[in-house]
């Protein structure tokens, strides 16, 4: 039954992921899949993503993140799964965090 398998995915992506429109790529993919959460650049050059949705949808989202956009090159992916909090109502691009 939909809604019973909501999860939170936290991902930090390393590689050529800043200065290539990667956050906008992530935002567009999140919108297309209907996941909520946020994406932001980090001062260390990585990109951080927190997303909530059905586990199967987040699995699709993660596969897209691993592939990256045409202009990016994802070299490493650090991820963690947690129960969804339900705190997000949309997906946003957030300011850079340290």
The residue from 41, 42, 66, 70 that is catalytic is: 41
Pairing outcome for strands 47-54 and 6-16: antiparallel
| Active-site residue, 4 included | no
The residue from 23, 42, 67, 70 that is catalytic is: 23
Give me the DSSP letters along the chain.
Answer: -TTTTEEEEEEEEEEE-SSSSHHHHHHHHHHHHT-EEEEEEBTTS-EEEEEEEEHHHHHHHHHHHHH--TT-EEEEEEEEEEE-----SSEEEPPPB-
Residue 87 pLDDT greater than 90, yes or no:
yes
| Active-site residue, 23 included | yes
Confidence label for 5 from pLDDT (cuts 50, 70 and 90): confident
Domain boundaries, the chain: 9-93
One of 2.60.40.1730, 3.30.70.100, 1.10.8.80, 3.40.50.2300 is the CATH number of 9-93, namely: 3.30.70.100
Q: Is the pTM of this model over 0.85?
A: yes
pLDDT one-digit tens code per residue, 18-29: 999 999 999 999
Question: What distance in Å separates the CA atoms of residue 57 and residue 94, rounded to the nearest whole number?
Answer: 22
The terminus-to-terminus CA distance of the chain in angstroms comes to 39
Residue 1 pLDDT greater than 50, yes or no:
no
pLDDT one-digit tens code per residue, 68-85: 999 999 999 999 999 999
Q: What pLDDT is stored for residue 98 in this prediction?
A: 60
Confidence label for 35 from pLDDT (cuts 50, 70 and 90): very high
């Amino acid at each position: 039954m939909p809604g019973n398998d909501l999860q939170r995915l936290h991902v930090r992506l390393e590689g050529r992921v800043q200065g290539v429109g990667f956050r906008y790529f992530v935002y567009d993919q999140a919108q297309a899949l209907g996941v909520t959460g946020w994406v932001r650049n980090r001062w260390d050059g990585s990109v951080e993503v927190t997303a909530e949705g059905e586990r199967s949808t987040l699995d699709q989202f993660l596969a897209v993140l691993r592939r990256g956009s045409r202009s990016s090159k994802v070299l490493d992916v650090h991820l963690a799964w947690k129960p969804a909090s339900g705190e997000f109502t949309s997906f946003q691009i957030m300011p850079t965090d340290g």
